[in-house]
Chains A and B, each alone.
Chain A
Amino acid sequence: MPIEGRTLWEACHNFCDYLNRVLATTVKETRLVPIGPRNATRLQVAFRGGGGRLPAALLRTRFGPMALYIGQLCETIQLGDARQRLVTVEYRYTLTPGDLDEAAQHEPLLRWEYVREPEGGGRWCRHHLQGAVQLEVGREAVSLNDLHLPTGYVTIEEVLRFCIVDLGVDPQSARWHEILEESYERFKTGFAPRGYI
């Protein structure tokens, strides 16, 4: 079932309500919130619950505390029946070791990004991974931050799965795997309008 609404705001609130249920039953009960100007044609989604000025969720991983940032820019496409379907035009997902204050001062270890339309003629991969990771490429030391490693569209569900399986975050429920599987399938079959990602 695609994420839709009568307006951009309604579609975005539906999107956040859905994701927050997934988050609360898998990795973290921290709320994603849509914000934007009143007559906006696009809205931003990020962690902003609780009045905090740090838009990230603190995870307890097997490597210590880590800040998870999830951010998206969302627009809608008009459907024929006066409803609008949500599309993601940009995302940023980052994982940074440290508590929220400490992590806010450092480059993320891993940073997944998607830009539907790079400005200025940028020809790098629209879906890419970067991070503060040193690679040996031939005789050169290259930072992953200087490359745009292609990834395909990375879903929030896959990032959450990475947090649980690879980073050792304790899942919020015993059904975390099924919840992420179901959500991922919904995204593949319904959320992503073909031609828009």
Chain B
Amino acid sequence: MAITRTLPESLQNAIERGELSQEQLRELISIEASTLGLSTDDAISLARKRRLPKTYIGADLELLVRLLPA
């Protein structure tokens, strides 16, 4: 299945600036989670246990989740 290649423009702009709000960070996590067929909450839970699929998306998600408040 082809993956949608671009992020929403508002999120792209935030990433260009670097500073994301908590909502934008969760939005990015949600987008990557959906790529893995996971809900946001499931992805966060699995990331904290280091049990995400071992794809590069999973690797990126694990690091992104570590930016969330504990």
Contact = CB atoms under 8 A, between A and B. Distances in A.
A172 B5 CA distance: 25
A53 B59 CA distance: 14
Interface size class of B (residues with CB under 8 A): 35 or more
Contacts of A103: 55-56
A19 B17 CA distance: 18
A41 to B, nearest CB: 10
A123 interface: no
Contacts, number: 109
Contact of A34 (B2, B18, B59): B18
A40 B66 CA distance: 11
Majority secondary structure of chain B interface residues (helix, strand, loop or mixed): helix
Contacts of A36: 18-20, 25, 67
A146 to B, nearest CB: 11
B11 to A, nearest CB: 9
A107 B5 CA distance: 20
Contacts of A107: 53-55
A116 to B, nearest CB: 11
Contact of A108 (B7, B50, B54): B54
Given A34-B18, A46-B60, A92-B62, 4 more contacts: A33-B15, A33-B18, A44-B64, A69-B59
